[in-house]
Amino acid sequence: MGGAATRDPVIVRWLLTLLALGFLGLFLVLPLAAVVVEAFAKGLDAYLRALGNDVALASIRLTLIVAAIAVPLNIAFGLAASWAIAKFDFRGKSLLVSLIELPFSVSPVISGLIYVLLFGLQGLLGPWLADHDIRIIFAVPGIVLATIFVTFPFVARELIPLMEEQGRDEEEAALTLGAGGLRTFWLVTLPNVRWGLLYGVLLCNARAMGEFGAVSVVSGHIRGLTNTMPLHVEILYNEYDFVGAFAVASLLALLAVVTLAAKTALEWWHRDELVATGH
C-alpha cells in the first residue's frame, strides 16, 4: 500500500494533499473561524455579555439538562437493543433493526410533529393531559422526548455491527463456565464494545445538544423557558443581535470541540489496549 503511494509522481501527491486540505479549510475551518470572528466582532465584553444574560444562561441550562436525560437513556436502550440483536435470534429481528434506524430516515420536523399530534391539545392524548394539568409539548418533557427520538439510533447503530463482528464465542464460553446472563454481559460483552460505546455516546451527545428541527416544533419558543441553545441562536440572529447569535454558536461549537478532544485524549491514554483489541 505505502509503496504504491510513494511511486506516484511528487506533483500528484502534493496536488491531492492540497486538494484535501483546501476542501477541509473551505468547508470546515473557514466557517468555524467565521463564527468566532463574528462572535468577537464587538470585543470580549460584548461576547461575555451575550453569554452571561439570563436568557442565554437559561438556554445553556436547558440544553445541558436535555442532554443529561436523553444520553443516559439512549445508552441503556442502545446497549439493550444491540445486545439482543447481536447475541440472540428471534422473530422480527430485522423489523426491530429497521425501527431503530427509523429516526435517521425521518426528517426531524416530522419527529417533532408526531409528538404534537400525540400530545398536542388537538392530539390523541392532549385533552386527557390538559384535564390533569400535565404539560408535555411546549415544555421540557416534550423537548426531551423529541431529542431522545432523534438521537435514538446513535448508540445502537455503533454497537450492533461491532457485536455482530465479535460473534458469540466468548459469551458461549462464559456461559459454559457457569457465568449467568448478567455476569456475562458485564464481564464479557460490555468490555469488548466499550470503545464503540464511547464513540456512540459522543455522537449521541453532540446531536442531543445540537438538534434544531424536532426541538423547534415542540418548543413553543418561550424565551428563558423552552429555548435550547440552537433555538436561541436563531432567535438572536432574527433580532439582529449577530454578536449574541454567534457567541452562543461559538459555545455550541466549543462543546463539539471539547467532546472530540475528550475522545482523542481517551484513545491516546488507552492506545496500548486499543492496539491489543484491534480497534
Q: Select from 82-90, 104-112, 116-124, 151-159 the region that touches other proteins (CB under 8 A).
A: 116-124
Q: Which stretch binds other proteins (CB under 8 A): 20-28, 40-48, 55-63, 92-100?
A: 55-63
The answer for 234, left when phi > 0, alpha when psi is -120 to 50, beta otherwise, is: alpha
How far, in Å, CA of 25 to CA of 33, rounded?
A: 10
Cell of 225: 423557558
- Rule CB under 8 A: is residue 186 a binding residue for other proteins? yes
Binding-site member from 35, 50, 75, 206 for other proteins (CB under 8 A): 75
Instruction: List the interface residues with other proteins, window 134-163 (CB under 8 A).
Output: 135, 137-138
d(CA 81, CA 50): 42
Torsion of CA 131, 133, 135, 138, to 10 degrees: 80
Q: Which stretch binds other proteins (CB under 8 A): 9-17, 90-98, 117-125, 149-157?
A: 117-125
Stretch that binds other proteins, among 21-29, 37-45, 50-58, 253-261 (CB under 8 A): 50-58
Torsion of CA 187, 163, 83, 115, to 10 degrees: 130
CA distance 67 to 210: 10
Residue 45 vs 54, nearer CB to other proteins:
54
Q: Which of 13, 61, 93, 271 contacts other proteins by CB under 8 A?
A: 61
Note the Cα 27 to chain centre separation in Å. Answer: 21
Using CB under 8 A, count the residues that bind other proteins.
41
Residue 57 within binding range of other proteins, rule CB under 8 A: yes
Q: How far is CA 132 from the centre of its chain?
A: 33
State which of positions 205-224 bind other proteins (CB under 8 A): 220-224
59 within 8 A of 229, measured Cβ to Cβ: yes
Q: Which residue in the set 10, 238, 268, 272 belongs to the binding site for other proteins (CB under 8 A)?
A: 238
**Nine-digit cell at 176?**
459454559
Q: Based on CB atoms, which residue is closest to other proteins, 95 or 276?
A: 276
CA distances from 1 to 21, 114, 268, 279 (A): 22, 50, 25, 20
Task: Tell me the window of 8-16, 17-25, 65-73, 146-154 that interacts with other proteins (CB under 8 A).
Answer: 65-73
Is residue 25 a contact residue for other proteins (CB under 8 A)? Answer: no
Per rule CB under 8 A, is residue 105 in the interface with other proteins? Answer: no
Q: Tell the smallest beta-carbon distance from residue 91 to other proteins (Å).
A: 32
**240, 159 Cβ separation under 8 angstroms:** no
Residues in contact with 149: Cβ distance below 8 Å, sequence separation at least 6, in sequence order: 103, 111, 114, 115, 214
Closest approach of other proteins to the CB of residue 162, in Å: 16
- Residues lying near other proteins in the complex (CB under 8 A): 54, 57-58, 60-61, 64-65, 67-68, 71-72, 75, 116, 119-123, 126, 130, 133, 135, 137-138, 186-188, 190-191, 194, 220-225, 235, 237-240
